[in-house]
Amino acid sequence: MPTTLTRLRQRKTKNISGVQFKSGYFYKFKYRAAENDRKPHIIFMYAYEGNHPNTKRQWRFFQAINFTYIPRKIRRRFMKVYLEEREKYEGNLQWDHIKRKFPWLVIAVRRYQYSPGGYIINPEEIPFEEAEDVIVSTWAKDFSKQTIIKLRSKIRKSMEARGKKKKRKKKIISEKRFKSPRYWTHKDTPRQHGL
């Protein structure tokens, strides 16, 4: 019996383990498939469900901003600005607007599997009034440095790969230039030009 493919959808609300997750709200839960943070404190962004159009694989996860991946010294300021912006836009805050204000936020966005069941245990919504206390409680955990180091190494490797190509071109050009004696003065020797 062939499986039917469903169209990939992005949802701003999702019922997970009996709790209604809404875009822009705060949540905490235990996560069994964690790489680093087993008890994340997050801002829910949106959930994906359905089959990816290119790979045809099922997507059953949600994306969220995890506070433990935001550097400690920026967390409180981010929280303050986030709540002000949310109030200003009356809850209709777009994630593109947040990314414009905080471009480094990309390192704090994480994906969490919600299906099959059992990955997310004891989810709770955190009221906005308690959000500051939640941020202070996550200060013991900080995975931002580890993530930044990984990101820098990826960038460095890609730049090195590009740089090797450029260095080869420069070396070829410089060899052509210095092999020609017309650039030398009467006092120059080949040794001075690395030949």
127 in the same domain as 69: yes
157 in the same domain as 126: no
Does residue 2 lie in a domain region?
A: no
115 in the same domain as 83: yes
DSSP code at position 7: B
154 in the same domain as 133: no
Q: CA angle, 89 as apex, 40 and 20 as ends, to 5°?
A: 40
Q: For residues 157 and 142, what is the distance between their CA atoms, to the nearest angstrom?
A: 25
Least confident of 13-22, 32-41, 172-181: 172-181
Q: What does DSSP say about strands 41-51 and 26-31: parallel, antiparallel, or unpaired? A: antiparallel
188 in the same domain as 115: no
CB atoms within 10 A of CB 145: 11
- Average the pLDDT over 41-65 and give the result: 89
Strand pairing partners for 60?
A: 49
Task: Give residue 179's pLDDT.
Answer: 47
Task: Give residue 180's pLDDT.
Answer: 47
Does residue 175 lie in a domain region?
A: yes
Residue ending a domain, among 142, 163, 178, is 142
52 near 8, Cβ under 8 Å? yes
Q: How far is CA 10 from CA 3, 61, 63, 156, 192, in A?
A: 21, 10, 10, 33, 64
Q: What is the pTM (predicted TM-score) of this model?
A: 0.70
138 in the same domain as 153: no
103 in the same domain as 125: yes
29 near 40, Cβ under 8 Å? yes
What's the domain count of the chain? Answer: 2
129 near 27, Cβ under 8 Å? no
Q: Which residue has the tokens 């004696």?
A: 181
Does residue 172 lie in a domain region?
A: yes
Does residue 22 lie in a domain region?
A: yes
- Residue 178 clears pLDDT 50, i.e. is over it: no
Does residue 113 lie in a domain region?
A: yes
178 in the same domain as 154: yes
Summarize pLDDT for 82-134 with one digit per residue, the tens. Answer: 888 888 877 677 777 777 888 778 888 889 998 887 889 999 999 988 887 77
> Concatenated DSSP letters for 91-153?
T---HHHHHHH-GGGGGGEEEEE--STTSEEEEEEE-GGGHHHHHHHTTT---HHHHHHHHHH
116 in the same domain as 55: yes
Summarize pLDDT for 179-193 with one digit per residue, the tens. Answer: 444 544 555 555 555
Q: Which domain holds residue 177?
A: 149-193
Helix, coil or strand: residue 25: coil
115 in the same domain as 160: no
Task: Give residue 187's pLDDT.
Answer: 55
Does residue 97 lie in a domain region?
A: yes
